[in-house]
Amino acid sequence: MCSSAAIYYTQDLIDAISIKYKNQKIASKYPAWHVATHMWTSETLLPFVYFVLTCNPSFRDWENIKRFTALVSKAYHYENPEPNIEKLTQFILWHTEVIYHILQLGPKIKSSQGTPIKHSMDIQLKAPKLSTLAMIVYLFHSDSDSFTANQSTRDILERHVSVTFERDYQLGYPTRQNDQDVYDSLRSKWETKSDEITTTAKDVHWPKCQFPLRSKSEPMLLLNGDIENDMRVKQDPQVSSFIHNWQTHFLETVRFIRNSKPENLGFPPYTLKNFSRGIHLFLQDSLPGSDKFEVTLFAEFIHQDPQDEFFVDFWEKFDASDSGRFLNQQKRRKSRVEVRP
């Protein structure tokens, strides 16, 4: 089911990328779409979409993924106008990893809604200074329109490519080995995966109907093991016969996705804004002198165990720092009020 859906939604993604290129001004700094078609092909994007679907995200998440991918694709093309198929593949793999970890965070955020959340000190996110990974987490899970809402957000996404990805690329992502054969094999493996997905789905044609069927909270793979959702979807005339014909495969897919999800260790009792600031501070402290990829450190933070001694200490220091900042802000506000005539 993932393979069949991936072929269907890869074209949806290509359409979204093409719109971003075609809507730009004539004098835009970005390359034209007719040039980009040789870069953003189905063969290049299919494995990315496939791995996204193994998380079975909602359609709301998919809209965010399309916006984000379209913008960073243009940014990558601008930064790398000359063809370099190996670097392009490294970028797509890196982007796949970023999106995967962001999607894995979603259920943790939802599960935390029933637990007490620590009061936000309303320390604002400083977009020009914030880690791009931290900012993207915040935008992705808080406001679906923010990816294109203003120039500062677009600047963040461009810096995501020119600084964040480029640092990891210079370190040799996805491996630090200097053997050229390692890089040469990456594109070969990517193309093999693309061919494998296409072959697996050759007899399964994902239904061409209006998605989502009713709500953007619906899973992209239609079923997700939730009884209420699955019963409703199975009764929808647009997809009922398709689900019936491939019911065994659907059950296997849902079981596979459930079993492959990492253990949900919970979500620290913080607002999304402060959790995003925590990502930034963690990366800010960890990156200097480190030979780890930034996306690897990002994954360590996303999948943290809140009971781990290191992270318990980290959040205690975070709270102490926030309290100090908040008190200083209050003092400055009070002093400004006192000096007014």
pLDDT digits (tens, 9 = 90+) for 215-270: 899 999 999 888 899 999 999 999 999 999 999 999 899 988 888 776 655 677 88
Using one digit for the tens of pLDDT, what is the confidence trace for 98-136?
A: 999 999 887 677 655 544 445 444 445 555 577 999 999
Residues 286 and 335 in one domain: no
- Alpha-carbon gap, residue 296 to 94, rounded angstroms: 10
Q: Is it the case that residue 317 has pLDDT exceeding 70? A: yes
Residues 195 and 324 in one domain: no
Is the model more confident about 5 or about 305? 5
Residues 90 and 114 in one domain: yes
| 2 within 8 A of 250, measured Cβ to Cβ | no
Residues 50 and 193 in one domain: yes
- Quote the number of domains for the chain: 2
| 293 within 8 A of 168, measured Cβ to Cβ | yes
| 203 within 8 A of 188, measured Cβ to Cβ | no
For residue 337, what pLDDT band results from cuts at 50, 70 and 90?
Answer: very low
- Alpha-carbon gap, residue 55 to 104, rounded angstroms: 7
Give the domain extent around 90: 2-306
- Alpha-carbon gap, residue 250 to 239, rounded angstroms: 12
CA 304 to chain centre: 17
Residues 69 and 123 in one domain: yes
- Alpha-carbon gap, residue 73 to 47, rounded angstroms: 15
Q: Which two tokens stand for residue 116?
A: 């007490």
For residue 142, what pLDDT band results from cuts at 50, 70 and 90?
Answer: confident
CA 273 to chain centre: 17
HEC readout, 119-146: CCCCCCCCCCCCCHHHHHHHHHHHCCCC
Residues 266 and 321 in one domain: no
- How much is the pLDDT for 145? 63
Q: Is it the case that residue 176 has pLDDT exceeding 80? A: no
Is 41 strand, coil or helix?
coil
Residues 197 and 341 in one domain: no
Q: Is it the case that residue 146 has pLDDT exceeding 90? A: no
0.85 surpassed by pTM: yes
Kindly report which listed range (30-34, 142-146, 280-284) carries the lowest average pLDDT score.
142-146
Helical packing angle, 85-111 and 294-302, nearest 10°: 20
- Alpha-carbon gap, residue 340 to 243, rounded angstroms: 69
Residues 64 and 161 in one domain: yes
Residues 188 and 275 in one domain: yes
Residues 228 and 146 in one domain: yes
Residues 218 and 328 in one domain: no
Q: What is the mean pLDDT of residues 149-154?
A: 73
Residues 335 and 207 in one domain: no
